[in-house]
């Protein structure tokens, strides 16, 4: 089973749920797809044993061959090329590495060079296989690194994908193709607003979903009412417990600080698995 964990709003406890779920079920994969600011390693403390570079092809122009016919810039929907009377400007940060400009150039004046985007690191944390992506500072394009992380998903066993907050392209890429999406939220107006956006995203992707309500004893009842109205099951409720906050601030997981939660996360896993099998 491939389980993605997302949240429309940042700071709702998505990584907290992901790492505690991974440790509770054991012998699984944890993949941190929040490549712009991965933080699962803070809690899992893995031993990294392999690092692979992620790159994309960007065009390189041979000005001696180029006739400045504009075909490359006209074909590029991302506006990564600008043809001037005497040269061609390339904007690597806009390039998606699709290769269309290289293919369409009639003079074969365009070749490709690799541009490093980030790395994928793999390792082990107890019996959890750890994978995380790290986007290079200043790089705007996270999706290729997320794709590289997801290529590490094994065909057997369970994989937990920790997505970034929001509903933008990186989140869609992380959630895409998963068997179930667990949405972590909180009972506040901001939490409900962004949960609504996340629900719409997951529904458009055609993926089954459920909700974890973190800090469930604060805020109001509107989030519970929304889930009931939309027929979205609330699979787990986590109270606003000071002991959890203290453990989190020290980089300690819930199941390590409060062992009684291990059984609750195991039940969460069983409920999700039952929903996937149905």
* pLDDT exceeds cutoff 80 at 278: no
Q: Say whether both 46 and 74 belong to one domain.
A: no
Q: Say whether both 176 and 249 belong to one domain.
A: yes
* pLDDT exceeds cutoff 90 at 9: no
| Rounded percentage of the chain residues whose pLDDT exceeds 70 | 100
- CB proximity list for 2: less than 8 A, separation 6 or greater: 153, 158, 159, 161, 177, 178, 179, 180
Average pLDDT over the chain reads: 96
Contact indicator for 35, 145 with CB cutoff of 8 Å: yes
Residue 196 to residue 201: CA distance in whole angstroms: 9
Strand order in the sheet with 2-6: 47-61, 110-125, 128-135, 29-32, 159-162, 2-6, 180-185, 208-214, 234-238
Q: Say whether both 135 and 165 belong to one domain.
A: yes
Q: Say whether both 213 and 241 belong to one domain.
A: yes
Residue 224 to residue 22: CA distance in whole angstroms: 26
Q: Say whether both 222 and 103 belong to one domain.
A: no
Residue 270's domain comprises: 2-54+118-277
Q: For residue 182, what is the domain's CATH number?
A: 3.40.50.300
pTM: 0.92
* pLDDT exceeds cutoff 90 at 11: no
Q: Say whether both 68 and 157 belong to one domain.
A: no
Q: What is the pLDDT of residues 21-58, one digit of tens each?
A: 999 999 999 999 999 999 999 999 999 999 999 999 99
Q: Say whether both 64 and 186 belong to one domain.
A: no
Contact indicator for 150, 31 with CB cutoff of 8 Å: yes
Q: What is the pLDDT of residues 229-271, one digit of tens each?
A: 999 999 999 999 999 999 999 999 999 999 999 999 999 999 9
Q: Say whether both 30 and 143 belong to one domain.
A: yes
Q: End of a domain among 64, 97, 116? A: 116
């Amino acid at each position: 089973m491939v389980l993605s964990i997302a949240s429309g709003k940042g700071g709702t406890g998505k990584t907290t749920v992901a790492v505690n779920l991974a440790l509770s079920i054991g012998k699984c994969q944890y993949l941190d797809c929040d490549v712009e600011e991965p933080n699962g390693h803070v809690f899992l403390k893995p031993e990294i044993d392999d690092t692979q570079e992620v790159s994309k092809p960007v065009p390189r122009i041979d000005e001696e061959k180029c006739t400045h016919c504009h075909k490359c810039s006209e074909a590029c929907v991302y506006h990564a090329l600008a043809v001037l009377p005497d040269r061609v400007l390339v904007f690597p940060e806009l390039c998606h590495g699709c290769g269309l400009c290289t293919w369409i150039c009639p003079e074969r004046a365009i070749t490709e060079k690799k541009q490093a985007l980030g790395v994928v690191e793999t390792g082990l944390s107890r019996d959890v296989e750890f994978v995380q992506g790290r986007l290079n500072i200043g790089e705007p394009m996270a999706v290729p690194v997320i794709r590289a992380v997801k290529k590490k998903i094994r065909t057997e066993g369970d994989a937990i994908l920790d997505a970034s907050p929001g509903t933008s392209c990186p989140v869609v890429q992380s959630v895409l193709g998963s068997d179930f999406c667990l949405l972590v939220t909180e009972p506040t107006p901001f939490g409900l607003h962004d949960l609504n956006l996340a629900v719409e995203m997951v529904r458009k992707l055609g993926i089954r979903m459920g909700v974890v309500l973190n800090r469930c004893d604060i805020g109001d009842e509107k989030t519970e009412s929304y889930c009931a109205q939309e027929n979205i099951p609330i699979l787990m409720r986590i109270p606003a417990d000071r002991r959890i906050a203290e453990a989190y601030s020290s980089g300690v997981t819930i199941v390590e600080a409060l062992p009684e939660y291990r059984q609750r996360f195991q039940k969460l896993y069983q409920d999700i698995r039952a929903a996937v099998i149905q």
